[in-house]
Amino acid sequence: MSLVISRTIFLFSYGGDYLMNILEFSVDGINYSVHFILVRPIEVKIDDTTKHLSAGVEANLVCRAYGARPPPLFTWWMDNVLKEELGVVIEL
């Protein structure tokens, strides 16, 4: 018997330096467990390469996170609205 179990876990906020979560399941009477250890970034910086911001003028902002495991997923928000149309470049 072949069985695939898929589960997505979203963690939006947690306290402390790391979070450990254990997902346990059973297939054909065999117990399995998967351990997740998430390490929050040591440092997060937003760099402004234009140095001066003005209304109506394009700006290049770079968000950098250091020390996170796994690498973080960045999203940009303005006035409580997710800015999905922004170009995103991810460097590891």
**63-76 tens-digit pLDDT:** 888 888 888 888 88
Answer whether residue 30 is part of any domain.
yes
pLDDT of residue 27: 77
The model's pTM is 0.51
Q: How confident is the model at residue 83 (pLDDT cuts 50, 70, 90)?
A: confident
Mean pLDDT on 5-21: 59
Residue 80: C-alpha distances to residues 5, 11, 75, 76, 77 (Å): 35, 19, 12, 10, 6
Residue 2 lies in a domain: no
pLDDT score of 32:
81
Sign of CA dihedral 47, 51, 57, 58: negative
Domain assignment of residue 3, yes or no: no
DSSP 8-state class, residue 75: -
Q: HSE of 10 in the Cβ direction (CA atoms, 13 Å)? A: 2
CA–CA dist 69, 54 (Å, integer): 35
Q: Is 12 within the bounds of a domain?
A: no
Q: What is the pLDDT of residues 17-38, one digit of tens each?
A: 666 677 777 777 788 887 777 7
Question: Is residue 53 domain-resident?
Answer: yes
Q: Which domain holds residue 32?
A: 18-82
